[in-house]
A = this chain, B = another copy of it.
């Protein structure tokens, strides 16, 4: 790393870095540099690169040689720019040290403020500001923060309180005051001394007075916080790799708490919850930035663009000139970045400083609204609009909302911090949330406010409710990131952790375990379980999805076993059914008795008798599905699970069945035992059943084609695609296909109806993919069953993997759960091979995927890349798959354009 630059300076309208250097400087560092470059007022500072972070971890927490010198050169520049001097007794420069990874990880890593304060420089600060109270408040905050974050003074066990808290609480008790702000300057002065003494006693070493020692301690702490547990958890949840590393930003402090001409705030250039195009922000007068984000005081809105609580002054009213400057900056930033920005600002004694800008996190609804409107504003193209909405994100728009027509009792109203609906049982801690969720319960996490330590609990909760904090509080930001419903700052409720309950107005008390329902789009809290209704694709969402379909090349179908599911999926844009599992139908109502009779029959005749009872019911199922999908293809899979799955397992069930069928219980038990398997996943199932009992396949084919004839006669178009499961050898398909075709021809002849149908197979065994060229001689279509293909390729039973798969993901043995996101390296290789081999003998082979991966965006992208005709997924994931497919197609276009451009450039160069 000899010639590498480790430190990037910014300040005075000129920066070493720029927006394109996010990987090196982190998001925050790159954006600050960019802001400086476009003339935005930013306190001077420098960024230490992410490469230093990686070096730090690869070299036993040592820095590369030369770093210190570079940093100290930059420090001199800051001093020059800000007109103050680090460690100076008269005019001291104070510094902040902040983390900044490639992407924002709000609140996950450490920050140290006010570095440079000591018993000498405090005097300069007092002199400079003429505000002794402010100075000592900063000093005691600094000692507290530095002692905690850098020196590691924490409670020693669960029972101990925070030692700094204890000292300040003791002080307040002694002074008989309630709020920190009621403490006198003298009190704050004493706190500094007491904090330092406590640190010395606990650690056996003194609080560092040397500003440079303070600075490097702060930098160590920030790089160190890249690997603290909550940061690691956050990266795991979001799938961010370890080796991205964080940059560290050292920047001159500016103070929003230097009096009433100072303030600090955060803002979004548009509304991050709804996407509406107005300047949205919150601020606190005479406060530090952390106060806004931490949600300790409920902040004021910057303007009245949206109705705000009465009596709350706005920035526009309090400091109109500065507000206008801020609006100018907002416009400049949006135009420059062509993206909604999340900004932090501080007003120090009447002067506006921008601390940060970054692409703002937003809800799915906001993402779509902003994207659609920016297209209309001609800021971005349709292509760009589509690439700006993450497929996974729109999931939150596709889930049921509280039924507006349901009778419901409103008990409180807060901020609509993250939209969606949540119904669940109340818990009051993240730990409880995890325990309850593990037990299969749906919970709503209720907190006064949340902290980064609550991440895991928030992740498993249905929704989050806080009594404090604004739209940019931790709870709100994190919940939106997770696409999880959140009502924040719900001041009408009082949370009592000791009693495990909260009270709302009108004497309503909600205890742990009680049900409540949240409407995150309205900020409303309801008593009990409110029913939900299906979401609809309307407005900007509809426009957006129409654009999506303009770019999309790959079809999207659904996996649906009922007419209802088929209808939902169709409304979401499904272009047919990719998988109908017939076995679910076998369990419905009384038909399971006939199914069991079939299984227990001792010969073909007995089986045929029982199957003839099932036939009319199956036919009825298919009539319903064909009608719901009229005009579109419907893929129906023949019976797949091993027969023992249909048999009763408890003695009581056995007894009942014995009575139903008029046989002895022992006879049924004997059959249950005879059919038991060591490895059912690899047992007598799939087409192996239809080969052993051809009469089952025949009945199912009959039901399909009789239903198709009925629906055709009703004037609807029907395109059945009969799919034979678990084929490993072409001969299996050949035999089953013969039965299907013979039955189809017989039924069509009898009914006088001609049905266009196909017979194909699931490719869900490695051998099927490996011999796809043989199988395609018989199959008219392939559908990759990637669930089973993943199980067999990995030799991993999904039912049993729970014991070690989470550990595998945690220990990074596997990059992710292969049942969630298709393992492109292994399973994907087989899929690709299957497609290529299949099409080598049947170029028009229709190929799809119907495993759960069909609804996973990364997997959909892979399916597009290898040229599948369609993906099939659960109804609620159909729009996600459509979007993912469109984004993949756009990526292709962009790659093409890039190649074209580079060719053109090369040609140009040649010409010269």
Using a CB–CB cutoff of 8 Å, the interface residues on chain A facing chain B are 677-684, 688, 691-692, 726, 728-729, 731-732, 735, 764-767, 770-771, 774, 788, 791-797, 799-801, 803-804, 807-808, 811-814, 823, 825-827, 829-830
What is the bound-complex CA distance between A692 and B735, given in angstroms? 44
Complex contacts, A804 vs chain B, CB 8 Å: 684, 688, 691-692
Complex contacts, A688 vs chain B, CB 8 Å: 804
**Most chain B CB atoms below 10 A, which of A681, A767, A791, A827:** A767
- Asked if residues A826 and B766 are in contact (CB atoms below 8 Å), the reply is yes
Complex contacts, A729 vs chain B, CB 8 Å: 813-814, 826
**Also in contact, A728 and B677, with CB within 8 A (given A803-B684, A807-B692, A826-B770):** no
What is the bound-complex CA distance between A792 and B789, given in angstroms? 10
Minimal Cβ-Cβ distance residue in B for A726: B795
- Asked if residues A795 and B792 are in contact (CB atoms below 8 Å), the reply is yes
- Asked if residues B678 and A681 are in contact (CB atoms below 8 Å), the reply is yes
8 of the cross-chain contacts (CB-CB < 8 Å) are: A681-B682, A682-B791, A684-B804, A691-B808, A728-B795, A735-B811, A766-B793, A767-B826
A294 to B: closest C-beta gap in Å: 39
What is the bound-complex CA distance between A688 and B811, given in angstroms? 12
**Among B682, B726, B728, B731, which residue has its beta carbon within 8 angstroms of that of A797?**
B682
Minimal Cβ-Cβ distance residue in B for A765: B795
- Asked if residues A793 and B765 are in contact (CB atoms below 8 Å), the reply is yes
**Most chain B CB atoms below 10 A, which of A726, A801, A811, A826:** A826
Complex contacts, A793 vs chain B, CB 8 Å: 765-767, 770, 792
**Also in contact, A800 and B764, with CB within 8 A (given A691-B813, A771-B825, A829-B770):** no
- Asked if residues B797 and A830 are in contact (CB atoms below 8 Å), the reply is no
**Among B764, B812, B825, which residue has its beta carbon within 8 angstroms of that of A795?**
B764
- Asked if residues B683 and A797 are in contact (CB atoms below 8 Å), the reply is yes
- Asked if residues A771 and B682 are in contact (CB atoms below 8 Å), the reply is no
Complex contacts, A732 vs chain B, CB 8 Å: 813
Minimal Cβ-Cβ distance residue in B for A828: B770
Complex contacts, A795 vs chain B, CB 8 Å: 681-682, 726, 728, 764-767, 788, 792
**Among B678, B794, B801, B829, which residue has its beta carbon within 8 angstroms of that of A765?**
B794
What is the bound-complex CA distance between A830 and B791, given in angstroms? 17
Complex contacts, A812 vs chain B, CB 8 Å: 731
Minimal Cβ-Cβ distance residue in B for A677: B800
What is the bound-complex CA distance between A786 and B691, given in angstroms? 26
What is the bound-complex CA distance between A764 and B731, given in angstroms? 25
Ranked nearest first, the 7 interchain pairs of A and B with the lowest CB-CB distance are: A682-B797, A679-B797, A678-B799, A767-B826, A683-B800, A766-B766, A765-B795
A862 to B: closest C-beta gap in Å: 15
Complex contacts, A728 vs chain B, CB 8 Å: 794-796, 826
What is the bound-complex CA distance between A240 and B323, given in angstroms? 92
What is the bound-complex CA distance between A690 and B159, given in angstroms? 37
What is the bound-complex CA distance between A786 and B764, given in angstroms? 20
Complex contacts, A726 vs chain B, CB 8 Å: 795
What is the bound-complex CA distance between A683 and B791, given in angstroms? 10
What is the bound-complex CA distance between A826 and B794, given in angstroms? 16
What is the bound-complex CA distance between A808 and B793, given in angstroms? 23
Complex contacts, A677 vs chain B, CB 8 Å: 797, 799-800
Complex contacts, A807 vs chain B, CB 8 Å: 691-692
Complex contacts, A791 vs chain B, CB 8 Å: 682
Complex contacts, A808 vs chain B, CB 8 Å: 691
**Among B735, B794, B797, which residue has its beta carbon within 8 angstroms of that of A813?**
B735
What is the bound-complex CA distance between A679 and B679, given in angstroms? 4
**Among B691, B770, B800, which residue has its beta carbon within 8 angstroms of that of A679?**
B800
A770 to B: closest C-beta gap in Å: 5
Complex contacts, A814 vs chain B, CB 8 Å: 729, 731
What is the bound-complex CA distance between A784 and B726, given in angstroms? 24
Complex contacts, A765 vs chain B, CB 8 Å: 793-795
What is the bound-complex CA distance between A811 and B735, given in angstroms? 10
A673 to B: closest C-beta gap in Å: 13
A506 to B: closest C-beta gap in Å: 48
- Asked if residues B684 and A771 are in contact (CB atoms below 8 Å), the reply is no
Complex contacts, A680 vs chain B, CB 8 Å: 678-679, 800
Minimal Cβ-Cβ distance residue in B for A674: B803
What is the bound-complex CA distance between A804 and B732, given in angstroms? 12
- Asked if residues B830 and A679 are in contact (CB atoms below 8 Å), the reply is no
A735 to B: closest C-beta gap in Å: 7
**Also in contact, A813 and B731, with CB within 8 A (given A765-B795, A793-B765, A800-B677):** yes
What is the bound-complex CA distance between A353 and B682, given in angstroms? 60
Minimal Cβ-Cβ distance residue in B for A802: B684
- Asked if residues A767 and B682 are in contact (CB atoms below 8 Å), the reply is no
Minimal Cβ-Cβ distance residue in B for A803: B684
What is the bound-complex CA distance between A98 and B170, given in angstroms? 114
What is the bound-complex CA distance between A684 and B804, given in angstroms? 7
What is the bound-complex CA distance between A803 and B800, given in angstroms? 24
Complex contacts, A681 vs chain B, CB 8 Å: 678-679, 682, 795, 797
What is the bound-complex CA distance between A792 and B770, given in angstroms? 13
What is the bound-complex CA distance between A811 and B732, given in angstroms? 10
A838 to B: closest C-beta gap in Å: 15
What is the bound-complex CA distance between A826 and B792, given in angstroms? 14
A511 to B: closest C-beta gap in Å: 33
What is the bound-complex CA distance between A537 and B799, given in angstroms? 50
A323 to B: closest C-beta gap in Å: 54
**Among B683, B764, B766, which residue has its beta carbon within 8 angstroms of that of A830?**
B766
Complex contacts, A827 vs chain B, CB 8 Å: 767
- Asked if residues B788 and A684 are in contact (CB atoms below 8 Å), the reply is no
A641 to B: closest C-beta gap in Å: 13
A840 to B: closest C-beta gap in Å: 15
What is the bound-complex CA distance between A807 and B791, given in angstroms? 25
What is the bound-complex CA distance between A108 and B791, given in angstroms? 46
A644 to B: closest C-beta gap in Å: 11
What is the bound-complex CA distance between A771 and B794, given in angstroms? 11
Minimal Cβ-Cβ distance residue in B for A735: B813
A174 to B: closest C-beta gap in Å: 47
What is the bound-complex CA distance between A814 and B771, given in angstroms? 13
